[in-house]
Chains A and B, each alone.
Chain A
């Protein structure tokens, strides 16, 4: 199954998909009234043998992946390696999220008398090994979206100080006389800010300094 998005964790081969469906079927057959789906760490559905009616599985998957990511971070904060997750709905409905290898999550919706221990026994046995193997054999995706990066442009400290002072000065006006920055003055200030941002990001420090002086001057006069 190919999933064509730059953020998807992996791509299954046709044989891999057949094995996955068989493994997910084994989960639902061994635990009555359950539904199982495999998602990647970005929350995209890799496969689900039978879609439960009336449920937005895409939203469920995105939330489960988000929850797993924050749970993993939580575990680290508490000095643990990982946490298994269980959402409880009254006494007879539960959702269980189980990491499969390092690239996927198994989400199981449990109903009725099915116990989490029963599922954990399956996952710690043959079923877990098979799911791990399927995910391990999957291909890496194309990564075309560049991740966010910063390339800070630090100016001379004198200029940085000037910009900070100007900003504090503007904030004072915004707090005490906000009306004086509406209309034409507001437009003029925005234009000055734009020129300052351009000058600073291109390293034109003299120009940036002049803009600061000029802006401060007319703001004071107004």
Chain B
């Protein structure tokens, strides 16, 4: 679910790399991390098993600027192994576009097909149809001898005639091209007629005007003041921090937002796996800090950050009190967003390519 902030002139999109195990999703992100100039990328986070296979997700934030607007893309790679099926679905939440990575080796054909079927099923579980979500296909490992011919791959894995890209993620060929195409398609959603109507609730774009930003900031400041916490964050499960207030002891809000979002989603999924419908929140406790998170609506939640010694009842009561008015306000934003989107169409349709092509230049 993309977010547009008019006040800060920021656009945030989520691009998810999906595919079978060992097909090259993590390698593609690793190459992007190596290849893109530092000013255009954030911290590469890989949550992996002890043997360096993706356990939960890999994350690479990519950013660029054009015409005074900042475009930020959060690139996620899902875990490929079947065991992590439950986690994989969470990473797809709020995706704006998908890079479906196919392992070109003949013996992986069935695995690729199963990965596509799982993608379809996971999206349906999230209230989205795979056909309605922008997607590109990246045929990886094209340097290995005896791989399936492109015609064959196209027939099997690209019946919708999506843009497709041969690649060798290990050496980086074709990786940036596939990403640029997916990133551009994420943005095309903003001005494509009816595209928002076809999106599931979790996948619609939110537009925050300057007034919205100001109003939310005031609510968040009151929450911090009345709870006695050090800081508060309003987080979107797909694209991270929407609004914050107070003193959060990190400057890397991008990574913090992504970690909180995935963490919260996993906690809730875990709860429903236990047969519980009454998931009320999540608490994380370290030597210094305590973080309490609670849901606001279907896609967002609140996080309060406080000293370990803080009054926990006051923290809990404040979240309970404030999530009502915040949810109400966000509901209004969601209702108005589709009518606000057309005014960005022209800007993004002209700036999209320039912004993205400029990514590789230092």
B and A form one assembly: yes
Contact, CB under 8 Å: B55 / A89: no
CA distance A174 to B53 in the complex (A): 35
Add 13 more A-B contacts to A7-B53, A80-B287 (CB < 8 A): A70-B263, A73-B47, A78-B256, A85-B267, A87-B267, A89-B278, A93-B278, A147-B53, A150-B31, A152-B172, A168-B353, A190-B150, A197-B168
In the bound complex, residues from chain A placing their C-beta under 8 Å from that of B22 are 145
* Number of inter-chain CB pairs below 8 Å: 239
The segment from B123-131, B174-182, B204-212 that touches chain A is B174-182
In the complex, which residues 148-176 of chain B have their Cβ closer than 8 Å to any Cβ of chain A?
150-151, 154, 161, 163-174, 176
Using CB atoms and an 8 Å cutoff, list the residues of chain A in contact with chain B. Answer: 6-7, 9, 40-44, 54-56, 58-60, 62-67, 69-71, 73-75, 77-90, 93, 95, 103, 109, 143, 145, 147-153, 164, 167-168, 171-172, 174-175, 182, 186-187, 190-191, 193-194, 196-198, 200-202
Closest to A171 in B: B353
In the bound complex, residues from chain B placing their C-beta under 8 Å from that of A82 are 286
- A77 contact from B171, B184, B255, B275, Cβ within 8 A: B255
In the bound complex, residues from chain B placing their C-beta under 8 Å from that of A60 are 270, 273-274
B49 an interface residue at 8 Å Cβ cutoff?
yes
- A85 contact from B55, B87, B151, B284, Cβ within 8 A: B284
CB distance from B254 to the nearest CB of A (A): 10
Contact, CB under 8 Å: B51 / A78: no
Proximity string of chain B (16-52) to chain A, C-beta cutoff 8 Å, 1 when within and 0 when not: 0000001010110011001100000000010111111
Contact, CB under 8 Å: B49 / A41: yes
In the bound complex, residues from chain A placing their C-beta under 8 Å from that of B352 are 175
CB distance from B312 to the nearest CB of A (A): 11
Contact, CB under 8 Å: B171 / A86: no
Contact, CB under 8 Å: A150 / B169: yes
Contact, CB under 8 Å: B270 / A95: yes
B84 an interface residue at 8 Å Cβ cutoff?
yes
Contact, CB under 8 Å: A64 / B270: yes
Contact, CB under 8 Å: B83 / A193: no
25 sampled A-B residue pairs with Cβ under 8 A:
A42-B53, A55-B275, A56-B273, A59-B273, A67-B266, A67-B270, A70-B262, A71-B263, A74-B259, A77-B256, A80-B286, A80-B288, A83-B285, A83-B291, A89-B280, A95-B270, A147-B52, A148-B30, A150-B170, A164-B360, A174-B163, A174-B181, A190-B166, A197-B166, A201-B168
Select the residue from B173, B249, B255, B256 with max chain A CB neighbours within 10 A. B173
CB distance from A6 to the nearest CB of B (A): 6
Contact, CB under 8 Å: A9 / B173: no
CA distance A42 to B188 in the complex (A): 38
- A153 contact from B173, B262, B305, B356, Cβ within 8 A: B173
CA distance A218 to B47 in the complex (A): 45
Contact, CB under 8 Å: B267 / A67: yes
In the bound complex, residues from chain A placing their C-beta under 8 Å from that of B249 are 78-79
Contact, CB under 8 Å: A90 / B280: yes
CA distance A66 to B267 in the complex (A): 9
Contact (A69, B171) CB under 8 Å given A150-B34, A164-B360:
no
CA distance A93 to B278 in the complex (A): 9
Proximity string of chain B (41-71) to chain A, C-beta cutoff 8 Å, 1 when within and 0 when not: 0000101111111011100000000000000
Contact (A200, B173) CB under 8 Å given A71-B284, A171-B181:
yes
